Structure 1
């Protein structure tokens, strides 16, 4: 497999393929990095923050694209990222300008599959979650509540779990364990 160098941006959040996330970019070195990404100098990867880590994130990250941006009143930049491809960090180094660059290798994305049976409950619950969180819902031009993989990944992005616990579910070969986890969580709160 071919490795690729990517700029790395980290936050205490999760972004998976087909997910969307809005970030504020404040620091000058991150603004320059975003400009370089937009100019096509290198691709961008988003990683979940790992305290006291080198690199400052877990090794499973998501290559993403900037799909929208706005300059805010305080001159910071708001960007919307869309996850594209899961990748694994092989090595990373912080450059003199403060930007982390990572050597990555592609990982497998979860495959699309229909959501069926009792798991339709997690799809309906996600739809309700989007209704009460319109700012998140507005990031998506289309939602895929019929796709178990898409629904599972959106739940992992929004559930308040420790990043290391999310990582355990992310590193599964498919969405089945995440679907089971979310279904049990919903059932336990319905009682």
Structure 2
């Protein structure tokens, strides 16, 4: 992190031991001491990656080889898909500090909207990973269609 490359974050599978292979390179943008004495850290995702081999150090830190994975291409939201943005904005309005992290223009990109839904839907880590690992937003959109029927 000294060279400002950030760090990688991967989800754990349902067994809470297995690292799932697609993660995000992140960068710390802010931190604070919370009321309970814990450290609150705000990060931003930089890019998606696929985890290759990794080792586990004595202190539990995992170091691995990663390969960047292209982000989903931006897709305009059609008139029929505006509901996904509207419902998402309504949900995020309950958490104004979270909502403030996003630009209004983000909500016009269907790929970005699908990614936010993947974050908040009550899916298993493996289900989320399946969507995240896809080449585009279509699988996430199909899942979203089924959930919001």
Please indicate the TM-score interval, normalised by the length of the shorter structure: 0.7 to 0.9
Hey, what's the Cα distance between the residues in 2 that align with 1:133 and 1:76? 20
Q: 2:3 aligns with which of 30, 40, 46?
A: 40
Counterpart for residue 54 of structure 2: 92
Which structure is richer in relative contact order (CA contacts within 8 A, separation 6 or more)? Answer: 1
Hey, what's the Cα distance between the residues in 1 that align with 2:76 and 2:109? 5
TM-superposed deviation, 1:149 = 0.9
Counterpart for residue 30 of structure 2: 68
Hey, what's the Cα distance between the residues in 2 that align with 1:120 and 1:59? 32
Q: 1:113-167 CA deviation, whole Å, 9 max, x = no partner? A: 11113111111111111112334324x1424110011100000011111111111
Q: 2:90 aligns with which of 118, 128, 134?
A: 128
Counterpart for residue 142 of structure 1: 103
Contact 1:119-1:183 at 8 Å conserved across structures:
no
Q: CA RMSD in A?
A: 1.9
Gaps of 5+ in 1: 1-36
Hey, what's the Cα distance between the residues in 1 that align with 2:73 and 2:66? 21
Give the number of aligned pairs: 147
Q: 1:156 aligns with which of 106, 114, 118?
A: 118
Q: TM-score if structure 1 supplies the norm length?
A: 0.70
Gaps of 5+ in 2: none
Hey, what's the Cα distance between the residues in 2 that align with 1:108 and 1:87? 8
